[in-house]
A and B are shown apart, each in its own frame.
Chain A
Amino acid sequence: MSTMAFLKRSPWILHYDASSCNGCDIEVLACLTPLYDVERFGIINTGNPKHADILMITGGINEQNREVVRNIYEQMPEPKVVVAIGVCAASGGIFRECYNIVGGVDKVIPVDVYVPGCAARPEMIIDGVVKALAILEERREKMTGAAQTKESARQAAGEST
């Protein structure tokens, strides 16, 4: 129905530090600085899952925070995407053998985009977000499509009775 597609022009981000060494975190924050200024693309770091469209996770998942990651993911309204930043978020990285590390983010929640690197460069992160936007847009279309089919099905049912 709506073909305006505001979503990709206004992706709001929630950044979660799972168990990063802070290297990737610094790079994520660097994206906000005047040099990269991601607000040019309407990107805002919200800090609140209820407002966010993109969940950005740095670092591998540990036993303590797997529930937390799942919780904030569930709190985000659809459509949403997950971007795993850095090699630790992808697989656990150099920490994967640690006793407390579960592994990459995809052990807990579905991940849509993996941004490699140790640490991931800001350009890579922005590129990852842009990739995520395409997926986000796809989801939105699917969602409105699903809603439309549901609606028309309901109308059809209403007419038949």
Chain B
Amino acid sequence: MIYCKSGGCTAKLGAGALSRILSKLDKNMDPHVLVGFDSHDDGAIYQINDRQAIISTLDFFPPMIEDPYLFGQVAATNALSDIYAMGGKPLTALNIVCFPGNLDLNELGKILEGGNAKVLEAGATLVGGHSIVDEDIKYGLSVTGIVDVDKILRNDTIQRGDVLFLTKKLGTGIIMASKQVGDADPLAVKEALSSMTTLNDTLLKQIPFEWIHACTDVTGFGFYVHLDEMLHGQYTAIVDGSALPFFSDCKRCVDSFYLTAAAQNNRNYLGDRIRFEVNDFFTEEIGFDAQTSGGLLFSVSKEHAEQVRQLLPCWQVAEIVEKTDDSIIVR
């Protein structure tokens, strides 16, 4: 498989560049659109009747690993994640494929098989797709899901005093970068791949909807950028830097400066909105590392924190306080 220059979500356009263009597009004001792109949420939501709404989302990217089947699984897990991040259930999926004309079609077959395995695991159905010839491989899914209108999880509904939990470890970008320079720890790669192919479908199975104030998936940009998105300029988050979970070997990789361009883009995007009270380069990098198929980041009020820890494997990483000059303070 052709190794891509910047695989997975590290290939994503910077958040800053994107919102500047999006803000210039004309919008149609349809009252059925409950969540559109102006709220920078994970997917779009369209109400279809009194009770239910449809969630639409799509995600695709170039390979970050050589194994086509695994790449297919990662890309599909990542695409399905947006539905879970909004509280929905995936119904149907369409393949999005870019594939070079001169490559072995069996490779593509394995990618699609890997993707389909995850669609099936999610209880959804693959119903079609679109393929074009392109210089590099890219693959992903457009997914449609369904959600009850009174059970939508949003990313901009955080409350003061909330505590935030993260359901997957950080460091997929760092581990894949170490692989790219040929200095990866096979165990860490295995750990990262297993995380990237784990569906984000357990949150609402374990935690009552009413407890969750806000939710997003940490995928595409880094943890700090997604956290900043959730604060939507209204609150400040205090991050416990020592509580951030990460894959084994990440520390060695950061010590070796296996740093991605995407992480630096994330750092540039947040600029001085984030302040580090700890002088620890690793804590900075792990939070800026662009995640591919990362976990869910959700907030609950303090009174439920203890129960959440017992019900769901997750890490308590931050707390919401009144807005200060900084958007994020890392301690």
The answer on A and B forming one complex is no
Chain B residues close to A by CB (< 8 Å): none
Chain A residues close to B by CB (< 8 Å): none
